[in-house]
Amino acid sequence: MISSTRRTFSVHRAALHRRYLATSAPQGPSGHHGLLPGSSQSAITSKLHFFNSVMGNDETIPTYRIISKDGEPVEGATLPNIDEGFGRRIYETMSTLPLMDNVLYNVQRQGKISFYMTSHGEEASIVGSAAALAPDDEILGQYREAGAILWRGLTVEEYIAQCFGNDEDKATKGRQMPVHIGSPKYHFHTISSPLATQIPQAAGVGYALKRDPKRRGKNCAMVYFGEGAASEGDFHAGMLLASTIPSPTLFFARNNGFAISTPSSEQYHGDGIASRGAGYGVDTVRVDGNDVLAVLSATREARRRCVEYGRAVLVEAMTYRISHHSTSDDSFAYRARSEVDNWVKSDNPLSRFRLFLEGRGWWSSAEEEDMKTRIKKTVMQAFKRAESRKRPELKELFRDVYAGPEPWNIVRNDAFRHFYYSKHRFINAFPSEFFATIANIQTEQREELATLLKKYGQVWEPWKRELVKFKGSGQELTQVKK
């Protein structure tokens, strides 16, 4: 029996189908009129015909699936090549996400961290795609890709330390919002808050890989984004760049049904995000995002095409966002609680893959309980440790921002003017000795902070309360020798 949510979804899809397929697909021209001058592809036809279907024959783009909701292979499907150990690792990584998310979501509600975003409902899309990549492929995430960096080896302890921004936050040293993680070690570019900025950046990273003799033909850049981000201009800029200046850039769209409170039905008029791939001339596939094996298989093939041909590929994973958009959102203000419950019961990516594993004798109920107990213990221990740690030293505010010496724009103005205008008044380019000199100059911001700490740090109660939360209490700045 189809649930009310499913019926609503089916009716919506049927209406959408009628709406954007109001005209049929173009008929193939006879060819006897020849080709359009300057074009090797467009045959001339005398028949006026409008079209809006990328598939032809009035068809929507199909969705690739390997295992059904009961964990059984779909008729005609080819299972990806995985062994028991690989399958168990995928499942354990997927299972870690909701257990960790639940704790950190509640921790934010208690005011112990400022912000959080979960991955509920999208575990298969995230982990399945990450598992298809090489460990040194570059990943540019949006903000739900914790599973991707956990797959690559980041520990739960390290992830929670970043969310707390304490002195064990190796990723961002307390200078980024929670979940905005990054790691050169795991080839995971630091997440930024503005929507879709990572998409054109990924095209640039892909092009850089293509230009690097050591990585050309070996690596690709994978960029994650939601269907809402695909409404931004940056999506089109990134797709255009990666297609016209070909680069091994793998665009992975998580179509989870909502851009915060805007449902996908109000975000686009055509057939999802996949329909746009053809317009940019890139290979495209739509996959069932709640089927981790389908995501794994599709992403493996997408990566192969990226790396071997040096061209962009677009993957659209159809899934559903079970959680609120973030801790700043209440999704029940714009969707029914019953709708969410129906998705959890009818199409849960975790239960689907668990059934597959159990059907092959690779998993059991006893192992399920042991795993959950172990992960919960790890998460709680990591949380308690992170909560007890102090913030990084205040001097970390001024480190790791620029490579080499600090640039002129943050150097003390009087020092800059004295050095530059006295020696190089009419020279446009900065001389090498200029950079050597400013390397030893204290920045204006650092000196100002040190002055304020000396003046107020031990006498004004609000500052006294805050300073003790930092490792070293700011003394590494106030005791610097001039």
Q: What is the DSSP code string of 201-259?
A: HHHHHHHHHHH-TTTTTT--EEEEEETTGGGSHHHHHHHHHHHHTT--EEEEEEE-SEE
Q: What is the structure's pLDDT at 31?
A: 55
Confidence of residue 38 (pLDDT cuts 50, 70, 90): confident
The amino acid at 146: A
Of residues 414 and 269, more confidently modeled? 269
CA dist 372 and 365 (Å) reads 11
The amino acid at 180: H
Q: How far is CA 284 from CA 60, 281, 311, 469, in A?
A: 13, 9, 12, 50
- Chain segment 361-371, per-residue pLDDT in tens: 999 999 999 99
Do the beta carbons of residue 394 and residue 472 sit within 8 Å?
Answer: yes
Q: Where are the domains of the chain?
A: 84-388, 394-478
Of residues 420 and 476, more confidently modeled? 476
Query: CB-based burial of residue 441 (10 Å sphere; 0-12 exposed, 13-18 middle, 19+ buried)?
Result: middle
Beta bridge partners of 183: 188
- Chain segment 157-212, per-residue pLDDT in tens: 999 999 999 999 999 999 999 999 999 999 999 999 999 999 999 999 999 999 99
Highest average pLDDT, of 19-33, 37-51, 317-331, comes from 317-331
CA dist 261 and 267 (Å) reads 11
What is residue 404's DSSP assignment?
A: S
Q: What is the structure's pLDDT at 155?
A: 97
CA dist 126 and 252 (Å) reads 10
Beta bridge partners of 259: 262
CA dist 299 and 255 (Å) reads 15
CA dist 247 and 233 (Å) reads 19
From 171, 153, 150, select the one nearest 161 (Cα to Cα). 171
Confidence of residue 407 (pLDDT cuts 50, 70, 90): low
The mean pLDDT of the chain is: 87
Superfamily of domain covering 84-388: Thiamin diphosphate (ThDP)-binding fold, Pyr/PP domains (3.40.50.970)
Q: What is the structure's pLDDT at 23?
A: 40
Kindly tell me if the per-residue pLDDT of 438 is higher than 90.
no
Confidence of residue 19 (pLDDT cuts 50, 70, 90): very low
CA dist 398 and 396 (Å) reads 5
**The residue count for the chain:** 482
pTM across the whole model: 0.85
